[in-house]
Amino acid sequence: MKSATRVLVTGAGGFIGHHLVKRLKAEGYWVRGVDIKEPEFEPSVADEFELLDLRFWNNTLQATNQMNQVYNLAADMGGIGYITAKLADIAHNNILINAHMLEACRLNGIKRFLFSSSACVYAGHKQNHADVTPLREEDAHPADPEAGYGWEKLFTEQLCKYYLHDYGMETRIVRFHNVYGPLGTYAGGKEKAPAAISRKVALTPDGDSIEVWGDGRQTRSFMYITDCVEGLLRLMASGYREPLNLGTEEMVSVDELVDLVCDIAGKQLIKRHDRSKPQGVRGRNSDNSRLRTVLGWEPETHLRRGLKITYNWIEDELRKAGHVEEAALAYASD
């Protein structure tokens, strides 16, 4: 019975973790949420929510006590500006979290452990062109991941495999491709591209200009949050033990993403490209062939539909805080 299954979600104060807790509760699971912070925009619905720093060993033992399944989403991470500026902090913090969590789960007899990896593990030399060939799971080797964040993710993938091999712990490994949606951070430096662009568009009067990082021709695919959560539950319930992509194959350039958000907002804005800002790999897209085979499913929310929901939520948050009106007044006074 689901109600008898006790599930731990680490990173439950974050964007994906908060949505996952809500879905697990709706499915009838007993859920403990753990993070160093509470959810930013609404209270957690977890049965228990504990503020714990999982870099410390005793906290991971406490978090995993009397649990059956663990979704390990806790991580020090953010948008491209953050992960390129904090290489040592990110690698150090996340390796501590993940190594301690795996060992605590082993000692506490956790039946299933899901690790949230990233498309940042993929070899950089396969992502040098905007018209990138969609990345298959095997393209992570020979290893050439992104500095800091990518390396620690790839290392923990291997550590999960070692715990399966040595101890028989059922581990699951998911590689996220750019998750977005409402209730996600949209300011402060840790926001991802869809949220950052939505914020900029919402605060910019029609006919004005906005800053776009890079030349705008770099490409990505983006996955809506409800699809992400659905994929997590399906993978956890599956018998698949190897790393698996979780994303969409709907690739767009950053300029196309800006144009799409502007169209949703009903604005015509001029793009000011800043090539001095970090932009990551030139192109990245998910190959979902194995995802379809393993889970018999793939994300189904088209980018425009998901962006419309996300943009409207971000604009509403900015309006409630008075930032839209402030931006309009500042523009009028120039």
Total structural domains within the chain: 2
Residue 321 lies in a domain: yes
Are 113 and 205 in the same domain?
Answer: no
C-alpha dihedral (284, 137, 295, 292), degrees to nearest 10: 60
Q: Flag whether 292 is in a domain.
A: no
Does some domain include residue 201?
yes
Mean pLDDT calculated for residue range 14-33: 98
pLDDT tens-digit readout, 160-172: 999 999 999 999 9
Same domain, 150 and 118: yes
Domain co-membership, 169 together with 112: yes
Q: Is the pTM of this model over 0.85?
A: yes
Tokens 């500095």 sit on residue: 147
Do 107 and 21 fall within a single domain?
A: yes
For residue 328, what pLDDT is reported?
Answer: 82
Report the CATH number at residue 100.
3.40.50.720
Q: Is the pLDDT of residue 289 over 90?
A: yes
| 23 and 44 housed in the same domain | yes
pLDDT at 331 over 80: no
Residues 8-25 have a mean pLDDT of 98
Catalytic residue among 29, 82, 149, 311: 149
- pLDDT band, very low/low/confident/very high, at 133 (cuts 50, 70, 90): very high
For the domain that residue 208 is a member of, what is the CATH number?
Answer: 3.90.25.10
Same domain as 108, residue 164? yes
* pLDDT tens sequence across 42-66: 999 999 999 999 999 999 999 999 9
How is residue 286 annotated by DSSP?
B
Provide the domain limits for residue 206: 193-220+251-283+303-333
pLDDT at 255: 98
Which residue stretches of the chain are H helix? 15-26, 57-64, 80-85, 87-107, 149-167, 193-203, 225-237, 254-265, 289-295, 303-320, 323-333
Q: Return all residues near 233 (Cβ < 8 A) that are at least 6 apart.
A: 23, 24, 27
- Say if residues 314 and 185 touch (Cβ distance below 8 Å): no
Q: What is the mean pLDDT of residues 214-236?
A: 98
Share of the chain above pLDDT 90, in %: 95
Closest by Cα among 42, 36, 135 to 77: 36
Neighbours of 257 (CB within 10 A): 21
Distant-in-sequence contacts of 264-268, Cβ < 8 A, 24+ apart: 264/304, 264/307, 264/308, 264/311, 264/312, 265/201, 265/202, 265/311, 265/315, 266/206, 267/201, 267/204, 267/206, 267/207, 268/206, 268/207
**What is the reported pLDDT for 333?**
74
Answer whether 89's CB lies under 8 Å from 207's CB: no
Q: At 58, which amino acid appears?
A: N
Same domain, 155 and 166: yes
Are 98 and 208 found together in one domain? no
For residues 77-92, give the mean pLDDT.
95
**One domain, residues 140 and 258:** no
Asked whether residue 289 is domain-assigned, the answer is: no
Q: Are residues 146 and 8 in the same domain?
A: yes
- What value does the mean pLDDT take over residues 253-274? 98
pLDDT tens digits, residue range 103-112? 999 999 999 9
Q: Tell me the pLDDT band of 1, cut-offs 50, 70 and 90.
A: low
* Model confidence pLDDT, tens digit, residues 232-247: 999 999 999 999 999 9
Same domain, 40 and 150: yes
Is residue 296 domain-resident?
A: no
Structure confidence at residue 3 (pLDDT): 66
Residue 318 lies in a domain: yes
**Following DSSP, what letter does each residue of 69-137 receive, concatenated?**
EEEE------SHHHHHH-HHHHHHHHHHHHHHHHHHHHHTT-SEEEEEEEGGGS-GGG--STTPPPBPG
Residue 234 has a pLDDT of 98
Read off the pLDDT band of 113 (50, 70, 90): very high
Domain contains 32: yes
Phi-psi region of 182 (alpha: psi -120 to 50; beta: other; left: phi over 0): beta
User: CA distances (Å), 320 to each of 205, 312, 313, 326, in order?
Assistant: 17, 12, 11, 11
Whether residue 113 sits in one domain with residue 61: yes
Active site residue 149: yes
